[in-house]
A and B are shown apart, each in its own frame.
Chain A
Amino acid sequence: MRTFRMGGVHPPENKLTAGCRILDVDLPREVTIAMSQHIGAPAICVVGKGDHVDRGAMVGKASGFVSANVFTPISGTVTGVGKIKNAYGMPVDSVTITATEEDHEKDAERPLWTSALRSSDDIAAMSAKDIVDIIGEAGIVGLGGASFPTRVKLSPPPGKHADILIVNGAECEPYLTNDHALMLEHPDEILAGVRLMMRGAGVDKAIIGIESNKMDAVRLLRGRLEGDKSVSVMELQMKYPQGGEKQLIQAATGREVPSGALPVDVGAIVQNVASAYAVYEAVVFGKPLVDRVVTVTGPSLSGRGNYRVPIGMSMAALIGIAGGIPGDSGKIILGGPMMGRTIVNVDAPTMKGVSGILILPREQSARGDVYPCIRCAGCVLACPMGLEPYRLSLLSAHSHWDSAEGEGIANCIECGCCSYSCPSSRPLLDYIRLGKNTVMAIRKSRSVQK
């Protein structure tokens, strides 16, 4: 079974919600749509207070090439335009939409996104540019967590050519099962989305990489390929961070993305299975990205499961649907436990990049006591980028930015394998992040000076 070559760890999988069917969440009466739910420039608000918007209407327009449109999942009146506090407590521009009883009933009656259904002939006749334009128009971003606009990834810069699409179904983060559930319930839609993305990017080969703890999904997708030789499903050994872009490319193709380069430099484009599903919906139904599957989970959460969530719904409301915040909660995390971020503000809205909400009990929330480094080499052996985390964190702690840059601190993917494996519970990644951000800022100012 294939995997990436260097480092990696295998944390307990804790896929508590594996096998849970995707449950549709009722449309909320109020949503808040953040203008910046992606990497790149924030969208520009195109509605004003008091405007009435229909379900699926655009409320924010992409403000550049690396940017994405944002849409409302409900009909209603714009009741607020301005700054709100996001999940991490930072002020962000957003639009709040409130539905009246009438709006709510109309949305509930209206069939889901079949008004703009395209015929298969129309779709077959589309050019690559048409497909990429539809994907861009629908505001689709990478749904694995990084939220990079999908259109940008499918349009390689001039002079570069991709020959393979790698679809990420690894879901190597513990606890998360949203991609798994999607693959089990919508295999044909995902494959259709994959083929559309292949056409859009002009590649004739795709590999869907899935870790071996999801053999049901592997078998199901393989069965639906129906002799299609251009797409293959690859079973991967369970190892974190398999879903990391560079790691996945190596696992699937053996190619190694050079340090500082992009996946397309080795001819690869990586997309998430959930993004493939969103592409299918956008192209076939004309549906913008207004909902996504979110795993809401935690050891003591009563209603844990995989939910199809209207993007912009408050997280408190979503957790409420999943049984409410348990009394022993110690930490609420957006995403998985290895790379997710803790929430400061539960009332903040969900966003495109939220793949999971994980609520850990108090006894699993505190870090261990920190002891001196015993030089066990655990972090060096665990690092999937071939770095020396102990040294980087030390250089960073002592503000030796030049040395840290020389040791490759900018290559860190912040996967957390080092801190995870440290027997002394040293905050390795905290210091490395600090150093990486500082080094990036120094590089930026250097290029400005030139």
Chain B
Amino acid sequence: MNQLLTISASPHVHTGRTVASCMWNVVIALLPALAASLYFFGLGAAVVILTSVAGCVTVEYAVTRWMFHRPATILNGSAVLTGLLLAFNLPSNIPVWIVLIGCVVAIGIGKMAFGGLGCNVWNPALVGRVFLLISFPVQMTSWPLPIVNRLNYTDAVTGATTLGAIKMSEMSSEAVAGASVDAGMTAFSVDTLQNFIGGVGGSLGEVSALALLLGFAYLLVTRTITWHIPVSMVGAVALFTLLIGGDIMVELLSGGLLLGAIFMATDYVTSPMTKRGMVLFGAMIGVITVVIRHWGAYPEGVSFAILLMNSFVPLIDRYVKPRKFGERRRVR
């Protein structure tokens, strides 16, 4: 026998879980939502998603190749994931050039400027999305109606989202001294079942709560994520909504809450490292979301809430530690 033996320190076995397998698992978990967006928005969804994924992958490749001079990282799936998530946060009638700007901001500024995967402070897809929301408010808040726009792209017929309608009715009712709040609500007629299965206008990924929950189940079963962030976030929204007397089902099923809770807030890089930290992080996102939805200028607050809490992650990690084995429990 003339080959050399390996000498290394323990452990000598490994789970086989890799960065790529984690990322592709999340992509797989997004497939039901992808199918739902294609079903409800047809052509527009296809164009936006393809542009976004291709754009993100291209930007990542370009930066690693010509700026970092490092081996390409696009095969690990994280750029594809960012592309999908960015697309899922956009309306289906948004022009291609705006999507591409979003890709450059998401990957280029949101991720690569910090040093690439693992180093970024904020969720890259949300950085891209919020940049677009602030830069192109008109295009970013015109929501094509589902199903009727299957064959349309930029010429889609638009309507309001559930939360948008409520916000507008609130504003108009405030203008007439709160006289017609109830009228405004009923005029819009919120259908919980429709919200759940899909069919209410909104961005691509948030259209069907059912599809998102399927993805959540897959992530839990494959142990890609734990329950802590999504459950505490949704729980906080439900509890807070109950306290201020809102409609819980509307808050939970509409807007990007589930998309954010399951796929955006749970982003490994930008979420805390301990279970207790995750619960705190999720709950705070939930609270901030409700505050923005009810008292802010925007109808939707999940993106801002997640980005805000992303900034607190280093602080949470510093102070919220796991209980060490053999350390006495704090005396009550």
Contact = CB atoms under 8 A, between A and B. Distances in A.
B185 interface: no
Interface string B306-332: 000000000000000111111110000
B97 to A, nearest CB: 31
A249 to B, nearest CB: 11
Contact of B324 (A373, A381, A385, A430): A385
Nearest to A265: B326
Contacts of A91: none
B245 interface: no
A331 B8 contact: yes
Interface stretch (A22-30, A190-198, A283-291, A420-428): A420-428
Interface stretch (A100-108, A117-125, A336-344, A440-448): A336-344
A239 to B, nearest CB: 14
A212 B12 CA distance: 24
B117 interface: yes
Interface in B247-295: 268-275, 278
B85 to A, nearest CB: 16
A375 B325 contact: no
Interface string A1-35: 00000100101100000000000000000000000
A227 interface: no
Name the prevailing secondary structure of the B interface residues: loop
B134 interface: no
B119 interface: yes
Given A331-B6, A339-B10, A377-B273, A256 B19 contact: no
Contacts of B11: 337-339, 416, 419-420, 429
Contacts of B172: none
A367 interface: yes
B5 interface: yes
A342 B6 contact: yes
Contacts, number: 162
B7 A342 contact: yes
A378 B274 contact: no
Interface of B: 1, 3, 5-15, 17-19, 21-22, 76, 115-119, 226, 268-275, 278, 321-328
Given A337-B13, A342-B12, A372-B116, A423 B19 contact: yes
Contacts of A260: 326
A423 B21 contact: yes
Contacts of A365: 5-6, 8, 12
A423 B22 contact: yes
Given A341-B9, A416-B11, 10 more contacts: A259-B326, A338-B11, A339-B10, A365-B5, A365-B12, A367-B8, A374-B268, A374-B269, A387-B322, A411-B326
Given A375-B273, A376-B268, A421 B326 contact: no
Contacts of A327: 1
A258 interface: yes
A385 B6 CA distance: 29
Contacts of A421: 15, 17
A92 interface: no
Contacts of B116: 372
A337 B12 contact: yes
Interface in A337-389: 337-344, 358, 360, 362, 364-368, 371-378, 380-381, 383-388
Nearest to A379: B273
Interface of A: 6, 9, 11-12, 174, 246, 256-261, 325, 327, 329-333, 337-344, 358, 360, 362, 364-368, 371-378, 380-381, 383-388, 390-391, 408, 411, 414, 416, 419-425, 427, 429-430, 433
A424 B23 CA distance: 12
Contacts of B10: 333, 337-341, 414, 416, 429
Contacts of B323: 6, 386
Contacts of B8: 331, 342, 365, 367
Given A327-B1, A365-B6, A9 B326 contact: no
Nearest to A5: B325
Nearest to B318: A391
A161 to B, nearest CB: 20
Contacts of B321: 388
A257 B326 contact: yes
B72 to A, nearest CB: 13
A259 B327 contact: yes
B67 to A, nearest CB: 16
Contacts of A368: 14, 18
B29 to A, nearest CB: 15
A411 B321 CA distance: 15
A307 B44 CA distance: 69
A374 B324 contact: no
A6 B13 contact: no
Nearest to B71: A369
Nearest to B228: A377
Contacts of B274: 377, 380, 388
